[in-house]
Amino acid sequence: MPREGVAPSVETAASGRPAVDLQRAAAAIEDFLRALGAPLGTDPELADTGRRVAEAFALDLLSGYGDDPAAILADSTSSGSRGLVVVSNLAASTVCPHHLLPAMGRVHVGYLPGERVVGLGAIGRLVDCFSRRLSLQEDIGQQIADALVTHLGARAAGVGIDFVQGCVAARGERRHDAHAYTLAFAGRYADDAALRAELVQVFPRAGSGERSP
């Protein structure tokens, strides 16, 4: 029988991802905490932690596995514009696949349109599609850039990500103020250094909301 308060599963979008088993996930979290010596039987604050953690991961932190980047970019519009499109300072978070700790910060996306453009809100959804997974920061940027070229037909795409990584800030050397800044490029940006430099100039500086001088 399902545990009280825990839905047995969550159906996902048509992305090939299996349904999420929240009941099993909640039980696994409780076993994990017991194995670490957490007082599940005596601390009332831990009584419902398994369910809360399972739902947080399934419905929010890892919800990107149920999204399809092609579908997100399919609602596009034909355009004669060939100028640079930039959406900056998109708040985003991910979960480190090595330590299961969060990373969060800002994502900056720019692309040179082909024959079609997409609504600016779709860029934010594309960022969530790839960031709300167990992902390396470097991979998120490349996946976003590749999707814009592959699914939207952009001539060039670039992504800058400025994250504070939980695995750096909360463990090990605990560098609380350290920012990790990564850049990824696809299409013409991957091969044209001068064109790439124009985009990077528009992106905010690492660790700030200001554009590069």
Q: DSSP alpha helices (H): ranges in the chain?
A: 22-35, 49-56, 69-74, 120-131, 137-152, 166-169, 193-202
Q: Is 197 helix (H, G, I), strand (E, B) or coil?
A: helix
Give the bridge partners for 116, in sequence order.
Answer: 78
pLDDT of residue 150: 98
Helix, strand counts (H, E) of the chain: 7, 6
Amino acid (one-letter) located at 36: L
pLDDT digits (tens, 9 = 90+) for 131-171: 999 999 999 999 999 999 999 999 999 999 999 988 877 77
Query: What are the structure tokens assigned to 63, written together?
Result: 């919800």
* Structural domains in the chain, sorted by start: 1-61 (1.10.286), 69-202 (3.30.1130.10)
Query: What are the structure tokens assigned to 139, written together?
Result: 């991979």
pLDDT of residue 207: 53
Which of 25, 21, 17 has the alpha carbon at shortest distance from 66? 17
Which of 159, 181, 151, 157 has the alpha carbon at shortest distance from 168? 181
pLDDT of residue 14: 45
Please list the ranges in the chain whose pLDDT falls under 70: 1-17, 206-213
pLDDT of residue 44: 95
Give the C-alpha separation, 3 to 27, whole Å: 9
pLDDT of residue 206: 62
Query: What are the structure tokens assigned to 41, written together?
Result: 């039987």
Query: What are the structure tokens assigned to 150, written together?
Result: 């592959």
pLDDT of residue 205: 74
Q: What are the CB-based long-range contacts (under 8 Å, 24+) for 138-142?
A: 138/182, 138/184, 140/94, 140/107, 141/107, 141/182, 141/183, 141/184, 142/184, 142/186
